[in-house]
């Protein structure tokens, strides 16, 4: 199994590398001279047109290595990244790395909490829907899921805010990162993402119910609870992969939620930066987001290998070759 994990780690690193390449390419492809953009700091605009400005441009250009060939630029850039230097924010002049690091805990807390909510709802309602498949409970759950999946995140968010903050006053409108303010955005985000998990859980369980080992367990006289447990054990494994994919969606979805609830995470930070064209921040945000996704995918791969004995006993999803 260790060879499998090592290979997956290598793949993850490779993926990360290529992702950085894409980000680098995008930045270089963006219209506008990066240097002049970077010097677009309010204080510097006044200096445009003077020779002092041109000197500064040349200086910055040399410092950023923009006068050298593109491959070298990439490598130097990569080197800086590896050391944690994500550049300097044009707007605030602070280090992007530390700005993001300051806001990261908020986003991570939000995403993970939402993930927990999603998983809990997905498992519970998915199981109920499968067990009562075809009956009223199943129909209701499916209707609820379809309705929820059709509603834009921000609508739900705004409505939640209107209800709980304005109408009932149980939620505080501010920009704090506090435990008391976590519940509403986490719940909202989690509920929005739950329908997908419910659907997959239901489908997986129903598929397992049709398999022979379930009939076999029944034939041994086991009660319903235990028979369902047999099926659930198998149905849950592919769900783990689903969690990985969900997480990528959560990081994206968090942006809207952070915006609505004024949750001080990296999503909101990036959004604000886009509107003022603060390129280093955008770049930093992209890199951090990608890093998180790749990390989660890798962790999920590890967990999956551990859970499915067919993998960790054979090193490959053993499909018996029928000779």
Partner 1 sequence: MKRRLNSKNPASLIIGLVVLAILAIAILGAPLLAPYDPVAQNAAERLEKPSEKHWLGTDRFGRDILSRTLHGGQTTLLSSLLALCAALAIGLLVGMAAGMFHGSALDHILMRIIDVLLAFPFMVFAMVIAGLFGTGLVHLLLAVVSVWWVSFARLTRSVVLHAKNETSYAAAKVLGASNLAIMRKELLPKAISPVLILATFELGTLILSIAALSFLGLGAQPPAPEWGSMLADGRAHFFQAPHILIGPAAFIVATVLAFNLIGEGLRDRLDPYEKLEL
Partner 2 sequence: MSSDNRAEALEVKGLQVAYEQNGRRTTVLNSLDFHLGKGEILVLLGESGSGKSTIAKAVTGMLPPSARIGGGSLRGGAERIPDLGKPGIPWERIRGRGIAMLFQDAQSALNPVMKIKDHFKESLLYHGLASAEEAAAISAAMLERLNFKDVRHILECYPFQLSGGMCQRICLALALCLEPAVLVADEPTSALDTVSQKEVLDLLRKLQREMGLTVLLITHDIAVANAVGNRVIVLNKGVIEEEGDTRTVLTRPASAYTRELLAARNRIARPARGLPPAAGKPVLEIVRLSKTFGGKKRVLQQVDLTLNEREILGILGQSGCGKSTLAKCVAGLERPSEGRIVLRGADIGHLKGKARRETSKRIQLVFQDARASLNPGRTALQLVQEPLHYLRIGGKEERKALAAYYLREVGIADEAQTRRPPQLSTGQCQRIAIARALVLRPDILICDEAVSALDMSVQAQILELLQRLQRQFGFSILMISHDIRVLRAFCHHIAVMSSGSFGERKQESGRLHESRQPHTQLLLKCAGDMEDGLV
Residues of the shown chain interacting with partner 1 in the complex, contacts defined by CB under 8 A: 11, 14-16, 18-19, 22-23, 26-27, 29-31, 131, 133-134, 142, 146-147, 149-155, 158, 162, 166, 200, 203-204, 206-207, 209-210, 218, 224, 227-228, 238, 241-242, 245, 248-249, 251-253, 255-256, 259, 270-271, 273-275, 277, 279, 282-283, 285-286, 289-290, 293-294, 297
Least Å distance, CB 237 to partner 2, is 7
**Among residues 76, 233, 252, 306, the one that binds partner 2 under rule CB under 8 A:** 233
Residues 24-63, mask of contacts with partner 2 (x by CB under 8 A): ----------------------------------------
- 2 forms part of the interface with partner 2 (CB under 8 A): no
Least Å distance, CB 50 to partner 1, is 28
Tell me how far CA of residue 134 lies from CA of 42, 137, 139, 147, 231, in angstroms: 63, 8, 7, 18, 18
Contact predicate 193/253, CB 8 Å: yes
CA atoms of 78 and 21, how far apart (whole Å): 9
Least Å distance, CB 164 to partner 1, is 13
Contact predicate 241/161, CB 8 Å: no
CA atoms of 72 and 70, how far apart (whole Å): 5
Site for partner 2 in 161-220 (CB under 8 A): 211-213, 215-220
Least Å distance, CB 213 to partner 2, is 5
Count, in order, helices (H) and strands (E) of the chain.
Answer: 14, 0
Contact predicate 60/33, CB 8 Å: no
- Tokens found for residue 122: 């997905």
CA atoms of 19 and 17, how far apart (whole Å): 5
- Tokens found for residue 7: 């290979």
- Tokens found for residue 20: 């950085």
What, of partner 1, partner 2, none, does residue 163 touch, CB below 5 to 8 Å by kind?
A: none
Least Å distance, CB 279 to partner 1, is 7
Contact predicate 300/307, CB 8 Å: no
Binding-site ranges for partner 2 (CB under 8 A)? 211-213, 215-224, 226, 230, 233-234, 237, 307-310, 313, 316, 318, 320-323
């Amino acid at each position: 199994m260790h060879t499998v994990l090592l290979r997956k780690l290598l793949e993850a690193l490779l993926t990360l590398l290529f992702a950085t390449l894409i980000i680098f390419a995008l930045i270089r492809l963006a219209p506008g001279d990066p240097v002049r953009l970077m010097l677009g700091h309010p204080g510097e605009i006044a200096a445009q047109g003077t020779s002092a400005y041109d000197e500064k441009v040349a200086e910055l250009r040399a410092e950023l290595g923009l006068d050298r060939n593109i491959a070298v630029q990439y490598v130097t850039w990569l080197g800086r990244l590896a050391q944690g230097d994500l550049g300097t924010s044009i707007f605030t002049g602070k280090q992007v790395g530390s700005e993001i690091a300051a806001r990261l805990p908020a986003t991570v807390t939000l995403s993970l909490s939402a993930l927990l909510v999603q998983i809990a709802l997905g498992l519970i309602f998915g199981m109920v829907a499968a067990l009562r498949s075809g009956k009223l409970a199943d129909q209701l759950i499916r209707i609820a899921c379809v309705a929820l999946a059709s509603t834009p995140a921000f609508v739900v968010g705004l409505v939640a805010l209107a209800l709980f903050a304005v109408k009932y006053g149980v939620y505080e409108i501010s920009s704090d990162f506090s435990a008391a303010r976590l519940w509403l955005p986490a719940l909202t985000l989690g509920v929005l993402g739950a329908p997908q998990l419910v659907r997959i859980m239901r489908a997986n369980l129903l598929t397992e119910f049709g398999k022979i080992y379930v009939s076999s367990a029944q034939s041994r006289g086991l009660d319903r609870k235990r028979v369902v447990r047999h099926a659930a054990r198998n149905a849950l494994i592919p769900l783990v992969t689903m969690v990985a994919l969900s997480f990528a969606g959560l990081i994206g979805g968090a942006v809207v939620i952070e915006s609505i609830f004024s949750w001080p995470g990296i999503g909101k930070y990036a959004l604000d930066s886009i509107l003022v064209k603060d390129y280093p921040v955008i770049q930093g945000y992209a890199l951090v987001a990608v890093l998180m996704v790749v990390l989660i995918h890798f962790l999920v791969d590890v967990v999956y290998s551990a859970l499915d004995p067919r993998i960790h006993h054979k090193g490959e999803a053993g499909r018996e070759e029928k000779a």
